[in-house]
Structure 1
Amino acid sequence: MKLASYADGSRDGHLVVVSRDLSQAHYATGIATRLQQVLDDWGFIAPQLEDLAVQLNHGKLRHAFPFDPDKCVAPLPRASGWAVVARGGSVRRDAGLFAGPHQPLRAPARPEAALAAIAGDLAAASDTASALDALRLLTLAVDWRLDDELIATQAAPLAVTPDELGEAWRTGRVQARLHVLHNGAKQPVQDIDAQPGAALARVARLRALRAGQVVGTALDLPDLPDLPLAAGDSLHLDLKTADGASLFGAIDLDIAPDAP
């Protein structure tokens, strides 16, 4: 299933289920109003959302409406924590506050993209297989750093269960392609191969993870940090399948222009 959180004036947004083709959505009211509720009681609530998703995909919900990613905040705006596992295995931790996919920045910053795994409860010292069992949802996230200081983390509009990734999900690996537009100009497409289960296990090596923890696998994208971002620029990031289908929806960043 595909889930998103619509802005409603609250800190967490309102949970919606999104159709497989991203054309329709339906509020999850009556089942859950925010994603953290689902993660806290996954075994009971997730099957109900799956049923709602099936009905939505078959056009059987009378109150469905067109999905609009511009109305989305991050799927899980206030996570239990945010940790990124670098290629060499080092772990960087943060509080876990996620901005929405279209929130502007006030100054140019360096982007660091990651495949983000949203976890259920996971015991300390769990192995990769156990970590995959605790994997609930995946999305795309980008840390924005200015002089090595984290100034914001953005998340794509959709958080999806691994089964929704189709051929992009194979034996616990996500294999996809990151498409980037800089001021509307296409940048080289970059292949990614990430193992979210291994990243979850790495972060849980010394301590248990609580439902709602988000763990990113840093994407080794040598061209991305070198983009000459400046005031007034825009950047569009979208992780897609080999045939061009968007996995999580796009992150669109606008950097505020210089004051006159």
Structure 2
Amino acid sequence: MKLATIKDGSRDGRLVVVSRDLTQMTDAAFLARTLQAALDDWARVAPHLATLAQSLETGAVPAERFHEHDAASPLPRAYQWIEAATDAAGPDDGPELRQGASDAILGPREPILAADEAWGIDLGGGIAVITGDVPMGAEPAQAREAIRLVMLVNAVALRGSADSPAGTDGRLGAASPTFSPVAVTPDELGEAWDGGRLGGTLCVDLNGKPLGRVDAGIGTRFDFPALVARAARTRRLTAGTIVGSGTVADQPEGGQGASIEAGGSGHSSLAGLRRAEAAGGADPRTPLLGFGDTVRIEMLDERRHSIFGAIEQSVESV
């Protein structure tokens, strides 16, 4: 099933079930007012949501048009947002994780705001999952069972200079992430979801032109059970925790990959493109994001239909 949160003037919005083709929706607030409420009572609520989703497909329940621009983030605020550090590993070669801001998650059509382009604004196309409760010390198999929903993410990074609010590594003053309009249960993804990774081409556009067309199934270094288990190694995770793959990369083992213009799969971040440009010893020629730039992130199924809806954002001055 596919779930979304519709803006209704409240902080956490209203939960709806969305049709597979993303054209229709039906109210689910009588089952759970918000997605967080559904996650908190997933064992009881999820079967009823699945029945509602099937009824929506057959026209057996009242429906209205689903407009992506009316959607907030599936979780407008979340208990945790944890992301894998791209091309980095911990001391035991497991994933290195970074904790980001999740108290005010951007909607899929909300602008990326910054006070200064010198903050070094970068996009970061990736995949994310929402978990149920995960006990401390969970093994990957146990972590896999706790994955409730899958989304796309634009994990905006601030790569500015040492005197910018972003610091030099993008962790201080980090920007809020943005997630796709729709969150999807793993069973709905069919063979594209192998239990740990989502296969399929992540389409990343910058200013209307292709920047990346990377297969997410091979472009993520660690699978999600490993990431979730790593996050739960020293603490329990509560339902509604979001874990991100890190930027989907053409060469997850450290290679730089080729741009689309050069016949490659391109990149899901400008940092990746700039590293590729610098690989031959030259200075990177592509700038990071500036005011007025636009970003679009989407994934299509085999029939060229959008699976999660699209993240579409402009970069604007505060």
| TM-score bin, normalised by smaller chain | over 0.9
Counterpart mapping for 1:112-191 below 5 A: 112-146=124-158, 147=160, 148=170, 149-191=173-215
Corresponding residue for residue 73 of structure 1? 72
TM-score (norm 2): 0.76
Deviation at 1:206, TM superposition (A): 1.0
Corresponding residue for residue 37 of structure 2? 37
Contact 1:81 1:212 in 2 (8 A): yes
Contact 2:248 2:268 in 1 (8 A): no
Following the alignment from structure 1 to structure 2, what is the Cα–Cα distance between the partners of residues 248 and 134?
A: 20
Following the alignment from structure 2 to structure 1, what is the Cα–Cα distance between the partners of residues 207 and 123?
A: 15
Runs of at least 5 residues in structure 2 that lack an aligned partner in the other structure: 90-94, 161-169, 250-255, 257-266, 271-285
Runs of at least 5 residues in structure 1 that lack an aligned partner in the other structure: none
Deviation at 1:172, TM superposition (A): 2.8
Q: Deviations 1:37-66 (Å, cap 9, x if unpaired)? A: 1111101011111110000011111x2001
TM-score (norm 1): 0.93
Contact 1:117 1:214 in 2 (8 A): yes
Higher percent of residues as strand: 1
Contact 1:156 1:251 in 2 (8 A): yes
* Residue 99, structure 1, aligned to residue 143, structure 2: no
Q: Deviations 1:73-128 (Å, cap 9, x if unpaired)? A: 00011111010122421110124232110111234511123311101111111111
**Structure index of larger Rg:** 2
Letter in 2 for 1:134: A
Following the alignment from structure 1 to structure 2, what is the Cα–Cα distance between the partners of residues 174 and 224?
A: 15
Contact 2:144 2:195 in 1 (8 A): no
* Residue 256, structure 1, aligned to residue 280, structure 2: no
Following the alignment from structure 1 to structure 2, what is the Cα–Cα distance between the partners of residues 178 and 126?
A: 29
Following the alignment from structure 1 to structure 2, what is the Cα–Cα distance between the partners of residues 191 and 213?
A: 25
Moved over 6 A (4+): none
Following the alignment from structure 2 to structure 1, what is the Cα–Cα distance between the partners of residues 195 and 49?
A: 25
Q: CA 1:92 to 1:257, structure 2 compared with 1: closer, same or farther past 3 Å? A: closer
SS of equivalent to 1:53: helix
Deviation at 1:164, TM superposition (A): 1.0
Following the alignment from structure 1 to structure 2, what is the Cα–Cα distance between the partners of residues 134 and 187?
A: 33
- Alignment RMSD (CA, Å): 1.8
Percent identity reads 39
